[in-house]
Structure 1
Amino acid sequence: MAASFHAFVLAGTGSGCGKTTVTLGLLSLMKKRGLRVQPCKVGPDYLDTGWHTAVCGTASRNLDSFMLPTSTLNALFCEQMQHADIAVIEGVMGLYDGYGTDPDYCSTAAMAKQLGCPVILLVDGKAVSTSIAATVMGFQHFDPSLNIAGVIVNRVNSETHYQLLKVAIERYCSVPVLGYVPRMEGVALPERHLGLVTARESVINQQPWQDFAATLEQTLNIDALLALSASNNLPVGEWPALPAADAGAGLTLAIADDEAFNFYYPDNITLLARTGLNIVRFSPLHDTCLPDCQMIWLGGGYPELHAAALARNVTMLEQLRAAHQRGVAIYAECGGLMYLGSSLEDSNGERWLMADIIPGHSKMGKRLTRFGYCEAQATQQTLLATAGEVLRGHEFHYSDFTPEIPAVMNCRKVRDGKTLQAWSGGWQVGNTFASYLHVHFAQRPEMLNHWLTAARNAL
């Protein structure tokens, strides 16, 4: 029987080994071959998925096993594969790096086994010869149940060097080497304090990626890769109870979407659209008029880089305050929280007035204030959760928010069964809720019912 689809996980030996760059080249290459490509990223990262989307034109999906139960994640993956010929899944960190020391918890390896996808291991070929086989062998033996189906060698300077590496790996590890990635100018991704610059902020020049894809077509055995990734078996999944198909009928949600605010999981927007909501987008940076709406979502992003422009757009700040005062149900994540605060102090020490809806002040720091997965339990009714309900999400921010009102959530970071940190976060004022926590709605679709009910109650 012919394969109904292809899927593979591109994993690395660690962070910074070139996974994102090679993934983008493969996405461009597969698209050039006429395949319907579904890009994915293991974990909660917004930046890599933004570049995936920009290069191949299809919204990249996050596969996050901390926020999403196995059955739900599988259901989301299966739904996306109904419209795709191949899934190219970029791993997170090193192959076995997860949350804590358990290699089967939130790791790339665990995701590959959950989805039943083969792993293509990307290894660094710089300044090494036969020793590269020891690296590959270590990854093979660490979990013999994992299907490491092939190897790609990155940063290879010559065909002669590559043949030496290939022979060593195939002789000692009995795994096919699918080719190599040479050094190329013009395909490095720009970075800043939070990692990559967002694809939204950059004018995507497709030519270097098309050139890179053409090179990979010559240096990789793509036909072998497709043969290794052929499958007829999707993972078994089931959707949780979702809001009614007309739960959002008659309501309009305005989503902030510009250079300052653009961190959104496409799955979250899809789930909201399924309720019958009318979804419109607006720019806190450039627009002077807020759309007529009953709900507003201010996502994450980089408001600190655009603080002066946000502060100067006084008309938008006034319209947001007016919407808040009339009970529009406003939800803000991370960068959105900073925008709704009283003021924002940027990395140069300049303070800018913000919306002043959540009393408190944001200040940029030089190191991560909080990073990683955490749980947040509501201590009272909030826009997304009732008292006692627990949300799972992640925080990743250099800013710190000093509130002038009490928090409404108890947060904690638990790793390997031990509580590493505990803190208070999340603030509710009227019908507005803001926090640093990024969440995936599919983990608890009741969140959407809470938000929609709050919007209707304010009519």
Structure 2
Amino acid sequence: MAASFHAFVLAGTGSGCGKTTVTLGLLSLMKKRGLRVQPCKVGPDYLDTGWHTAVCGTASRNLDSFMLPTSTLNALFCEQMQHADIAVIEGVMGLYDGYGTDPDYCSTAAMAKQLGCPVILLVDGKAVSTSIAATVMGFQHFDPSLNIAGVIVNRVNSETHYQLLKVAVERYCSVPVLGYVPRMEGVALPERHLGLVTARESVINQQPWQDFAAMLEQTLDIDALLALSASDNLPVGEWPALPAADAGAGLTLAIADDEAFNFYYPDNITLLARTGLNIVRFSPLHDTCLPDCQMIWLGGGYPELHAAALARNVTMLEQLRAAHQRGVAIYAECGGLMYLGSSLEDSNGDRWLMADIIPGHSKMGKRLTRFGYCEAQATQQTLLATTGEVLRGHEFHYSDFTPETPAVMSCRKVRDGKTLQAWSGGWQVGNTFASYLHVHFAQRPEMLNHWLAAARNAL
């Protein structure tokens, strides 16, 4: 029986081993072959998915098992595969690195097993020969139930070097080596202290990636990769109860979308669109007119890099304040919180006036203030959650927000059964809610009903 689709997970031995670069090359290559490609990323990362989307032209999806129940995540994956020939899934960190020390909790390995996808292990070939087999063997033996179906070797010096590595791995590990990735100029992704530069900030020159894909066509056995990743069995999933198909009818949601604000999960926007909402986009940086709307969403991004321009756009700040005062239901995440605060102090120490809707001040630091998964329980009615409801999400920010109004959520980071941190966060002022927490709406679709109800109640 012919396979109905292909899917594989590109995993690494650790962070920084080249997963994203190789994933982008494979996406470009598969697209060049005429395949409908669905890029995915294990975990909550916005930056890698932005690059996936820019290179292959299809919105990359986050597969996050901390925020999403297994059944829901599987249902989302199955829906995307209805329109794809192949899923190229980039792993997170090292293959067995998850949340805490349990390799089956929020790890790349756990996701591969959940989806029933084979793992292609990317191993660094620099300055090593036969010892590479020990590395591969260790990953194989750590979890014998995991299907490590093939190996790709990164940073190989020559064909002779590659043959030495290939023979060692295939002799001692009995797993096929599918080829190698030599060094190539022009395909490194730009970085800064916050991680990768977003794809939105860079003009994507497709030619280097097309050249990279053409090179991979020569150094990788793509036909073998496709054969190993062939399948006709999708994981079993089921949607949770969703808002009614007309729950958002007659309402307009304005989404901030520009160089300063662009961190959104495509699944979240799709879920909102399914309610019948009219969705429009606007730029807090460049537009002087806020769309006529009853709901506003200010996502994450890098407002600190554009603080001067945001502050100079006084007309937009005034229109946001007016929208807040008339009860428009405004939701802001991370960068959106910083924009809605009273002021923002950038990394140079310059302070810029912001919207002053959530009283408080943001200040950029030189180290991560908070990073990773956490839970947030509402201590009062908020735009997304009623008292006592718990939202799961993640925080990643170098800024700190000093509020002038009480927080409305009790947050905590629990790892390996122990509470590592506990803090208060999230602020509700009128019909506006903002926090540092990034969330996936599919974990609790009722939060959309709360948001829509708040918008209608203000009419």
* TM-score class, shorter: over 0.9
- Cα shift at 1:157: 1.1
CA distance in 2, matches of 1:281, 1:36: 27
Residue 368 (structure 1) shift: 0.1
Partner of 1:265: 265
2:110 counterpart residue number: 110
Between the aligned partners of 2:379 and 2:133, the Cα distance in structure 1 is 53
Mark the runs of 5 or more structure 2 residues left unpaired by the alignment: none
Deviation at 1:115, TM superposition (A): 0.0
Looking at structure 1, the residues matched to 45 and 233 of structure 2 have their Cα atoms a distance apart, in angstroms, of 27
Residue 89 (structure 1) shift:
0.1
Offset of residue 303 of structure 1 = 0.1
Q: Runs in 1 of length 4+ with deviation above 6 angstroms?
A: none
Residues of 1 paired with 2:14 and 2:200: CA distance? 26
Residues 349-399 of structure 1, C-alpha deviation per residue, up to 9 Å, x if partnerless? 000000000000000000000000000000000000000000000000000
Show CA shifts across 1:142-164 (max 9, x none). Answer: 00000000000000010000000
Distance 2:192 2:427 in 1: 29
Residue 265 of structure 1 deviates from its aligned partner by: 0.1
1:191-247 Cα deviation digits (max 9, x unpaired): 011100000000000000000000000000000000000000000000000000000
Cα displacement (A) at 1:411: 0.0
Q: Secondary structure at the match of 1:202?
A: coil
Alignment deviations for residues 395-436 of structure 1 (CA, whole Å, 9 cap, x no partner):
000000000000000000000000000000000000000000
- Deviations along 1:92-140, one digit per CA (max 9) or x if unpaired, are 0000000000000000000000000000000000000000000000000
Q: Whole-Å Cα distance in 2 between the matches of residues 304 and 367 of structure 1? A: 15
Q: Alignment partner of 1:453: what SS? A: helix
SS of the residue 1:357 aligns to: coil
Provide, for residues 272-309 of structure 1, a one-character-per-residue CA deviation record: whole Å limited to 9, x for no partner: 00000000000000000000000000000000000000
1:302 equivalent in structure 2 = 302
Q: In 2, Cα distance between the equivalents of 1:195 and 1:138?
A: 29
Take 2:42 and 2:192, find their aligned partners in 1: how far apart are those partners?
21
CA-to-aligned-CA distance 1:261-280 (integer Å, 9 cap, x gap): 00000000000000000000
Q: TM-score, normalised by structure 1?
A: 1.00
The CA deviation at 1:170 is 0.1
Q: Is 1:160 paired with 2:164?
A: no
Aligned to 1:226: 226
- Indicate the SS of the match to 1:83: coil
Query: In structure 1, what is the equivalent of residue 437 of structure 2?
Result: 437
SS at match of 2:200: helix
Whole-Å Cα distance in 1 between the matches of residues 25 and 427 of structure 2? 42
Q: Secondary structure at the match of 1:126?
A: coil
* Secondary structure of 1:272 counterpart: helix
Residue-by-residue CA offset, 1:423-459 (whole Å, 9 max, x unaligned): 0000000000000000000000000000000000000
Query: C-alpha distance in 1, partners of 2:12/2:43?
Result: 14
Identity of aligned residues (%): 98
Alignment-derived partner of residue 453 in structure 2: 453
1:176 to partner: Cα distance: 0.1
The reply to whether residue 396 of structure 1 matches residue 396 of structure 2 is: yes
What SS is found at the alignment partner of 1:392?
strand
Secondary structure at 2:100's aligned position in 1?
Answer: coil
Q: Deviations over 1:8-37 (max 9, x none)?
A: 000000000000000000000000000000
Q: 3-state SS of the aligned residue for 1:199?
A: coil
Aligned to 1:191: 191
Deviations 1:30-55, CA, capped at 9 Å, x for gaps: 00000000000000000000000000
Q: Secondary structure at the match of 2:169?
A: helix
Distance 1:332 1:105 in 2: 29
1:32-80 CA-to-partner distances (Å, cap 9, x unmatched) read 0000000000000000000000000000000000000000000000000
Kindly indicate whether residue 167 of structure 2 is the aligned counterpart of residue 181 of structure 1: no
**Structure 1: distance between partners of 2:75 and 2:440:** 14
2:91 aligned with 1:91, yes or no? yes
Q: For the residues of structure 1 that align with 2:447 and 2:89, how far apart are their CA atoms? A: 28
Whether 2:358 is the aligned partner of 1:358: answer yes
Rounded Cα–Cα distance in structure 2 between residues aligned with 1:174 and 1:258: 49
TM-score by length of 2: 1.00
Q: Distance in 2 between matches of 1:201 and 1:272?
A: 26
3-state SS of paired residue (2:262): strand
Query: 5 Å matches for 1:18-417?
Result: 18-417=18-417
**By how many angstroms is 1:141 displaced?**
0.1
In structure 2, C-alpha distance between the alignment counterparts of 1:232 and 1:33, rounded to whole Å: 20
Question: Per the alignment, in what secondary structure is the counterpart of residue 402 of structure 1?
Answer: strand
Give distance in 2, aligned partners of 1:195 and 1:346: 17
Q: 2:255, 2:237 → 1: CA distance?
A: 29
Alpha-carbon separation, structure 2, partners of 1:200 and 1:39: 17
Residue 284 of structure 2 aligns to a residue whose secondary structure is coil
- Counterparts of 1:197 and 1:249, CA distance in 2: 37
| Whole-Å separation in 2 of the counterparts to 1:125 and 1:330 | 50
Instruction: Tell me the secondary structure at the aligned position of residue 352 of structure 2.
Output: strand
Match of 2:292, SS state, is coil
Distance 2:355 2:76 in 1: 36
RMSD (Å), alpha carbons: 0.2
User: Helix, strand or coil for the counterpart of 1:276?
Assistant: coil
